[in-house]
Amino acid sequence: MIKTLFARLKQGYRTMPLPVKNESLPERFLGRPCVRPNISKEDCQKCKIICPTGAVGIEGDGLLLDLGRCLFCGECQRICADKAITFTREYRLAVKERKGLIISNKPEQNSREVKKRIKHIFGRSLKLRQVSAGGCNACELDINVLNTVGFDLGRFGIQFVASPRHADGIVVTGPVTKNMRLALEKTYKAVPSPKLVIAVGACAISGGPYIGHEQTNDGVDSLIPVDLYIPGCPPHPLTILDGLLKLMGSAKC
């Protein structure tokens, strides 16, 4: 027992403080992108063509980037000599409305604002049921990481539960395949009202690389209403955690 106590003292405090400074994240981390104005149409076409999910579009003389479709592969940044699109290390990406995921060269509004009623209803406790609707397990793994000592999700009063009947809402990952559609709808109905729906990852938001496939749905919001969108492929655990805290009103937008 004494050896265990000494080992614990030696290890020290392992849980990371929040918020995390962007500069402390690794250089290869791809966070919220920036779109430059006044880019040549030739460069715009290069970015549009190389994007595997059609996340890059053209509007007038500039580019649009849909974070709901973006896989954060960085190919658009790599191919463009003028750096029309550059990825920062900003991990705070979650928004409450789908349109808030559209990035352009226009001045941004505070699209990360969340509904105040959520904090009023659920207070400081949030119980969630995770639904893997045909995902590759990447998003699921990053959600599971939140339960480790490094992130310690429980310190914020957030917990994943085994039954939807004990939950305040559901966290959906994956493109919602035809085989999982009924299971998702049943899980949603089993959660008592009022309830929340959180779409995590490009697949759950837009279909990701499976957009338009006959065996999947192009986003969870085509089936059930979504209260929070957390983009990424997969989203970083910090991105997911920040989104959950904003949903509870425990973090500033």
- 120-171 confidence digits (pLDDT tens): 445 568 999 999 999 899 999 999 999 998 898 988 999 999 999 999 999 9
Q: Of 246 and 68, which is predicted with more confidence?
A: 68
Looking at the predicted structure, is the pLDDT value of residue 108 above 60?
no
Q: How buried is 36 (Cβ within 10 angstroms: 0-12 exposed, 13-18 middle, 19+ buried)?
A: middle
Domain borders along the chain are 22-91, 116-248
Domains 22-91 and 116-248 share a fold: no
For the domain spanning 116-248, the CATH number is 3.40.50.12280
State the number of CA atoms in the 13 A half-sphere of 152 facing the CB. Answer: 10
* Predicted pLDDT of residue 24: 86
Query: What is the CATH topology of the domain spanning 22-91?
Result: Alpha-Beta Plaits (3.30.70)
- For residue 121, the model assigns a pLDDT of 46
**116, burial (CB in 10 Å: exposed 0-12, middle 13-18, buried 19+):** exposed
